């Protein structure tokens, strides 16, 4: 290993294919005899289905299958199995699938939907978490108490609360008594969408043996396989999920999405493949949205700026289904100290059913929403005490030896370095123009995953000295293929272009829990190291025998196994790929195949009543962003001039990709701060298209300064920590804090629109805050 590939800006392995348009996505796939599916959806936010008549649709020429909830009254879901594949007795949001059709063309399928007659009886509906929690609220899931669930979630039976996550760290009332000052704040976050460029798309086929094959634009092929197998009661091995390149995930293609309805339709389609491409409207409304949040935070602190106590009530508008969302609510609970040390804590994080579109994972997994509240609250404390916001954060920053909300003792934490560096990059404390403001926000995030979320990798060595890396991590644009190829090449002593990375096919590629939680470089990276070292050991063993040199005196460089002290004593990897050939014509060993796996050890459950425990998550990644903005007090417009971002990611595997990830996160964070919001009116998405759901454009991109700190993680590959989602989490609160610095008004409900800024300025002019 003359020159390390770890820390090298290796260009993306998929770059050429993607810039030339030859990369294939599910939408590009077409098959002989393929049918096209369309979904009939509920026009009501909450209604009982009295009857469904599909007879006319079935008779339409070209229609091959019509499916309703009566055909498959099955449930599907990841953590709290609350979702029917098609509505059975009730619909719970505008868009809930009621029936599906497969036909010879999309036009015929759509025509058939119009022939399906559904009789509904409208039910009272609820559209905000507080109405949903009221004692007399209509129940959205009457059978909540009977749903299957992973036993770390705590639904309140016969209510609309699907999960109540509690943190009780010390006696919070005592904490408030020990505080010099107390402030309270309420913060709002609306529902949002991920806005992947590629809509959700899949093809499903059920062959004569009953084997289900699904080609899906998904983040998590193994999760799709498992959830389909459970939902349809078929063995996992009879489901095969193939995932080509994915045009963006951001959490919106995690778990299972459209594969459920599509597989049900394919099961009735006589063995023909059936394709379903969601319209942009369906992507906006019928794939999981970022949950809404109302956060009420009460914080006690000392006059010197030290936090003492925090009481947090987090009311999540989880929408009609929470099969995945319950875990966001849990993650927000165990992360509710944010990146700070708070001795006394009480948190109640409620996952609340409403008749809004169903919530689910979104880049940040609750952290963007949580930090919108926590880091503005921190800013208010600083201003309340007339202290420097950077200073207050340095005083309270989590560090080695402090405890989290769950009582876990932290170590190897580099947050204060990030704060100082981000402040320096934004020019904190230097002179600035009038109407210009600077703000800072810190963040933390851990991979939210069960204790057994594992990764596996295979490596095959080919007779030309190249290697195939087989994994089931999905390439969703984040650069996983490149980073993992770097790791494999580094360990094997091969040039990185000799490593080909597979696309997932669950029949042939080894297990990967999910491509979520910013965990692939960390978890799959460890599996790849193990697989590469396994293959390397096989190569070195054979070479040692062939060369008559002890294995510990051999290494591999550029595809050649050689003596450490004498490069002339060497055998090419290519010549060892299929086994060791001996001079007498015989051979030993056989083809080289490395295998490796990884499971993060020691993640334990938490006490249900106190949320306390030894180790809730595998590890934490901290970071900081600082913003400089200019505000036009006449128009209310916020112009984000610059964002500085500094993260402690343990080890930068690929600086180019790490910077690219950060730039993308900043722009999405800015977009969330200023523009994004699903506009809901009595459960109806009023802006299900890019005409009126605005996202930041290239023209909105600010100047960016990006830096990294490297405090190694003990079980990270080369010390690397999970890093991706983190990049958008603190942008919005940093911008909000900068707006306050500029004009003295605080916007607590996202997005920060010009109209809200003007209204706040007017109210300030009248003496309000």
Partner 1 sequence: MFQPFQYLAPHTLAEACAFLRDNAGKAMAMAGGTDLLVRMHDRHWNPAYVVDIKKIPGLTGITVNGDGGITIGAATTLNAIARHPAITARYTVLAEAAHVVGSYQVRNRATIGGNICNASPAADTAASLLALEAMVSITGPDGERRVPLAEFFTGPGKTVLVPGELVTTIELPTLPAGSVSTYRKLMRTRAVDLSQVGLAVVVAGGAVRIALGAVAATPIRATGAEALLAGRSMPDLDIPAIAREVAAAASPISDLRASREYRLHMIEVMARRALTDLLAPKRQ
Q: Which residues contact 46 (CB under 8 A, 6 or more apart)?
A: 90, 91, 92, 93, 122, 123, 124, 125, 126, 138, 140, 355, 683
Coil vs helix vs strand at 367 = helix
CB of 635: closest distance to partner 1 in angstroms?
A: 6
Find where tokens 């109209």 sit: 755
Q: Closer CB to partner 1, residue 9 or residue 697?
A: 697
CB of 698: closest distance to partner 1 in angstroms?
A: 7
CB of 746: closest distance to partner 1 in angstroms?
A: 20
DSSP 469-489: EE-----SSS-HHHHHHHHHH
**C-alpha–C-alpha distance, residues 449 and 361, integer Å:** 12
> What is the DSSP code (8-state) at residue 523?
I
* Contact assessment for residue 442 and residue 418, using Cβ atoms and an 8 Å cutoff: yes
Q: Which residues bind partner 1 (CB under 8 A)?
A: 106-107, 110, 279, 634-635, 675, 679, 686-687, 691-692, 694-700, 754-755, 758
Q: Which long-range contacts (CB under 8 A, 24 or more apart) does 610-613 make?
A: 610/166, 610/167, 610/168, 610/169, 611/165, 611/166, 611/167, 611/168, 611/169, 611/333, 611/334, 611/347, 611/405, 611/406, 612/167, 612/168, 612/169, 612/406, 612/407, 613/406, 613/407, 613/408
Q: Closer CB to partner 1, residue 106 or residue 712?
A: 106
Q: Closer CB to partner 1, residue 277 or residue 476?
A: 277
CB of 641: closest distance to partner 1 in angstroms?
A: 13
Q: Closer CB to partner 1, residue 568 or residue 699?
A: 699
Q: Closer CB to partner 1, residue 20 or residue 681?
A: 681
CB of 681: closest distance to partner 1 in angstroms?
A: 10
CB of 264: closest distance to partner 1 in angstroms?
A: 22
| CA gyration radius, the chain | 27
Q: Closer CB to partner 1, residue 191 or residue 618?
A: 191
Q: Is the preceding omega at residue 642 within 30 degrees of 0, hence cis? A: no
Q: Which long-range contacts (CB under 8 A, 24 or more apart) does 600-604 make?
A: 600/449, 600/451, 600/453, 600/523, 600/715, 601/715, 603/449, 603/450, 603/451, 604/451
CB of 694: closest distance to partner 1 in angstroms?
A: 5
CB of 108: closest distance to partner 1 in angstroms?
A: 11
CB of 691: closest distance to partner 1 in angstroms?
A: 7
Which of these, 448, 601, 593, lies nearest to 526 by C-alpha position?
601
CB of 701: closest distance to partner 1 in angstroms?
A: 9
Q: Taking the alpha carbons of 487, 491, 495, 500 in that order, is the dihedral positive or negative?
A: negative
- Cα atoms found within 13 Å of the Cα of residue 90, Cβ hemisphere only: 20
**C-alpha–C-alpha distance, residues 142 and 7, integer Å:** 53
Q: Closer CB to partner 1, residue 87 or residue 732?
A: 732
Q: Closer CB to partner 1, residue 33 or residue 679?
A: 679
* 156 CA to centre of own chain: 26
Q: Closer CB to partner 1, residue 43 or residue 138?
A: 43
Structure tokens at 703: 């100047």
> What is the DSSP code (8-state) at residue 522?
I
CB of 753: closest distance to partner 1 in angstroms?
A: 8
């Amino acid at each position: 290993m003359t020159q390390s590939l770890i820390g090298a800006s290796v260009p993306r392995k998929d770059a050429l294919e993607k810039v030339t348009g030859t990369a294939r996505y599910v939408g590009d796939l077409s098959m002989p005899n393929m049918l096209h599916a369309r979904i009939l959806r509920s026009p009501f936010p909450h209604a009982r289905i009295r009857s469904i008549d599909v007879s006319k649709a079935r008779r339409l020429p070209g229609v091959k299958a019509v499916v309703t909830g009566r055909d498959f009254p099955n449930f599907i879901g990841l953590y709290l199995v609350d979702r029917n594949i098609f509505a059975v007795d009730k619909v719970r949001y505008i868009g809930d699938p009621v029936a599906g059709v497969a036909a010879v063309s999309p036009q015929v399928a759509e025509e058939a939907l119009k022939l399906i007659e559904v009789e509904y009886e409208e039910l009272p509906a609820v559209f905000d978490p507080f109405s949903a929690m009221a004692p007399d609220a209509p129940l959205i899931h009457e059978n909540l108490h009977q749903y299957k669930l992973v036993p770390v979630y705590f639904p309140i039976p016969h209510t609309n609360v699907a999960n109540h996550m509690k943190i009780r760290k010390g006696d919070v009332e005592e904490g408030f008594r020990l505080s010099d000052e107390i402030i309270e704040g309420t913060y709002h976050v609306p529902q949002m969408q991920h806005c992947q460029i590629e809509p959700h798309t899949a093809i499903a086929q059920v062959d004569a043996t009953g084997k289900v094959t699904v080609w899906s634009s998904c983040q998590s092929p193994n999760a799709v396989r498992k959830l389909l197998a459970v939902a349809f009661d078929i063995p996992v091995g009879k489901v095969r999920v193939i995932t080509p390149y994915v045009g963006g995930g951001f959490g919106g293609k995690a778990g299972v999405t459209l594969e459920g309805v599509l597989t049900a339709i394919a099961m009735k389609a006589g063995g023909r493949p059936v394709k379903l491409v969601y319209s942009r409207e369906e992507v906006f409304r019928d794939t999981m949205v970022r949950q809404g949040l109302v956060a009420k935070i009460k914080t006690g602190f000392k006059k010197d700026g030290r936090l003492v106590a925090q009481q947090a009530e987090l009311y999540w508008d989880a929408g009609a289904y929470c099969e995945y969302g319950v875990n966001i609510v849990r993650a927000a609970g165990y992360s509710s100290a944010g990146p700070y040390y708070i001795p006394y804590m009480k948190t109640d994080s409620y996952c609340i059913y409403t008749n809004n579109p169903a919530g689910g994972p979104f880049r940040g997994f609750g952290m963007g929403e949580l930090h919108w509240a926590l880091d503005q609250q921190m800013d208010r404390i600083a201003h309340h005490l007339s202290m420097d916001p950077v200073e207050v954060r340095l005083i309270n920053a989590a560090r080695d030896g402090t405890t989290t909300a769950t009582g876990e003792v932290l170590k190897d934490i580099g947050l204060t370095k990030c704060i100082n560096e981000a402040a320096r990059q934004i020019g904190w404390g230097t002179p600035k123009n009038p109407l210009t403001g600077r703000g800072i926000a810190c963040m933390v995030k851990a991979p939210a995953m069960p204790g057994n979320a594992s990764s596996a990798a295979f490596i095959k060595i080919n007779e030309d000295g190249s290697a195939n890396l087989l994994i089931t991590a999905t390439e969703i644009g984040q650069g996983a293929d490149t980073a993992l190829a770097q790791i494999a090449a580094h360990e094997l002593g091969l040039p990185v272009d000799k490593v080909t990375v597979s696309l997932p096919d669950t029949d042939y590629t080894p297990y990967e829990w999910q491509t979520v939680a910013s965990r692939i470089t960390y978890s799959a990276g460890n599996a790849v190291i193990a697989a590469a070292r396994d293959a390397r050991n096989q190569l070195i063993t054979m070479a040692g025998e062939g060369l008559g040199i002890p294995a510990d005196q051999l290494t591999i460089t550029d595809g050649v196994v050689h003596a450490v002290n004498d490069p002339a004593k060497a055998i090419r990897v290519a010549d060892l790929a299929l086994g060791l050939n001996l001079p007498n014509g015989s051979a030993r060993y056989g083809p080289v195949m490395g295998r490796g796996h990884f499971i993060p050890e020691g993640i334990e459950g938490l006490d249900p009543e106190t949320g306390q425990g030894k180790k809730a998550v595998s590890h934490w990644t901290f970071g900081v962003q600082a913003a400089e903005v200019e505000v036009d007090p006449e128009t209310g417009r916020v112009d984000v001039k610059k964002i500085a971002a500094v993260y402690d990611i343990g080890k930068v595997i690929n600086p180019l990709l790490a910077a690219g990830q950060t730039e993308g996160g900043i722009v999405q964070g800015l977009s969330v701060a200023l523009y994004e919001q699903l506009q809901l009116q009595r459960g109806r998405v009023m802006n299900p298209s890019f005409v009126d759901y605005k996202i930041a454009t290239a023209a909105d991109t600010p100047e960016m300064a990006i830096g990294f700190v490297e405090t190694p993680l003990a079980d990270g590959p080369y010390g690397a920590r999970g890093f991706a989602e983190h990049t958008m989490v603190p942008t919005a609160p940093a911008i909000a804090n900068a707006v306050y610095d500029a004009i003295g008004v605080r916007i607590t409900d996202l997005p920060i629109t010009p109209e809200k800024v003007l209204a706040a300025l007017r109210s300030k002019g009248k003496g309000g805050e």
